Amino acid sequence: MPLAPQRCSFPVAFALSPPACVLCRRAHADPNICGPKLRNGGICAHRFCLVSFCGAGCSFLTGRPCRILLIGSSLFCSDCFICGESGATITCWQKGCKRRFHLPCAVEGRCITQFFEHYRSFCWEHRPQQAVVVAPENTACLICLELVEGRTSYRTLVCPACKHAWFHRACVQNYALHAGFVCFSCPHCQNQYQFLTEMRTMGIRIPRRGPSWTEDGGYAQLRKRHSRCDARQCLCPGGREEAEQEGPWQLLLCCSCAAEGTHKRCSSLKHSTTSWECDTCLPLATSGPDSQHTAWTPPRDQPCSIPE
């Protein structure tokens, strides 16, 4: 006699919910702070929760995560001094300080985690602070243009090089995530070394990569060389895209902007012509359909000057 089907007693909502990080106990956390989720053998942990807990040398994906979790289990009874919940695995680096907190609670508690070298973390009392600088009245954040606090603080940072560029912590963090290590510099004075070093010390995470705006192919078009004839009437039998290495269908690009091109015959250029300038760039250019020009050069017996 077949057995009657049994209903699963496991809550559907719980079964379908995303896995929580075993360290911060959160299924949903800001990836800009905690990083992506890493999984190994059914165990889930945020990347920066992991490195803030066990250091940059931990090997969660290739090593034995159970060992890390067993060490952390002795700390699960510790309460976060910010939210009061258990499972706080990050300890203030200051010797003698027993404050522990979750990485997602750091901003609320004005704590700092340094995302380099030893990945040190500090509570609000022992965190590194910028030298006290008073902001001029009605000073705005250079990024969002909203007013900042009247002096340096946890939420208000200043460029250590020029002392004129002020930022909200959240704004400079967002800027760092987009600029990356390569392009991160003060938007005002363009200082890179002092600015980057200071912001990292203040807990700003700066990814070791190039700027994000080059990753989606947005600048790919600018890297392509212009390759078509822009003459009003193209005479080439193969069309505007056709180009030969030499001869009447050799394509010349504007020697000033390189944004326009022409076949030699389409612009009635001599076979010996090696450079050409479009009407947009050529001084005193006319817009007539038969007007073709070569680059302007000054007379040999006169000093070089831009024609009026």
**Mean pLDDT, the chain, as a whole number?**
80
* Chain mean position to CA 189: 19
Rounded Cα distance, 166 and 118, in Å:
28
Residues forming CATH 3.30.40.10 domain(s) in the chain:
17-122, 227-281
Second-level CATH architecture of 129-215:
2-Layer Sandwich (3.30)
Residue 21: exposure state from Cβ atoms within 10 A (0-12, 13-18, ≥19)? buried
pLDDT digits (tens, 9 = 90+) for 28-47: 888 888 888 888 777 788 88
Share of the chain above pLDDT 70, in %: 76
CATH code for the part of the protein at 227-281: 3.30.40.10
Confidence band (pLDDT; 50, 70, 90) for 217? low
Assess if CATH 3.30.40.10 describes domain 17-122. yes
Worst-scoring range by mean pLDDT, 96-105, 260-269, 289-298, 299-308?
299-308
pTM value surpassing 0.85: no
Worst-scoring range by mean pLDDT, 51-55, 86-90, 212-216, 278-282?
51-55
Do residues 99 and 33 lie in contact, with contact meaning Cβ atoms separated by under 8 Å? no
pLDDT digits (tens, 9 = 90+) for 184-209: 999 999 999 999 999 999 999 999 88
- For the cut 80, the answer to whether the pLDDT of residue 15 exceeds it is no
